[in-house]
Structure formats: C-alpha cells, structure tokens
Homo-oligomer: A and B are copies of this chain.
C-alpha cells in the first residue's frame, strides 16, 4: 500500500505519450506503469502517431493484460506552431485503460 502511494505520487497522471518510437516501447511503458500499482493509464498521441496509440492499446489489452478495461476514448484538435511560425491544427487522441 505504501508502495502504491509512492508510485501514485511520482507518476501522478500516469500518461504515456506515443510518438515515433517502435510500438513495443510504448506497450512496455504502459505495462510497467500498471505493474507499479497505478489503477489507470492514459495513452496520448497526436497526428500520425494516433494509429500507433491504438496499436498500443490493442496489444496491451489482447496480449499482456487481458483483464484491463477501456475507460474511455476521446479525440480533440490541437493547434501547433510549425517550424516556419505558421500554425496548423492536428488531431489528438486520449485512451484511458483501467484495472
């Protein structure tokens, strides 16, 4: 219990940001967070990484932790500033998995 409290404190929001690394890196990150005792993990991604975020969710649920429940999937639009200073919109996804 004291162990769980400590982990909840250090990883308060339990978010895994999915980017361009291999999918299994993020799968491992999610599984590690659950094994550290947190009850929920949020997977976030933007743009092209959205597909990879869905892969991460499916692999975690189907191969590693079949008991996990999907607590919600939300999409949104975020505005980013490009290298040349112009602004453009990019889609984002947020997937919450819980025990």
Count the A residues whose beta carbon is within 8 Å of the partner chain — how many? 20
Contacts of A47 in B (CB 8 A): 51
Given contacts A62-B77, A73-B73, A75-B73, contact A93 B54 (CB under 8 A): yes
Contacts of A54 in B (CB 8 A): 50, 75, 91, 93
Residue A76 interfacial (CB < 8 Å):
yes
For the complex formed by this chain, how many copies does it contain in all?
2
Contacts of A95 in B (CB 8 A): 75
Residue A27 interfacial (CB < 8 Å):
no
Given contacts A48-B48, A51-B50, contact A75 B57 (CB under 8 A): yes
A93–B89 alpha-carbon span in the complex (Å): 21
Instruction: State which residues 40-56 of A face B: CB under 8 Å.
Output: 47-51, 54-55
A residues whose Cβ falls under 8 Å from a Cβ of B: 47-51, 54-55, 57-58, 62, 70, 73-77, 89, 91, 93, 95
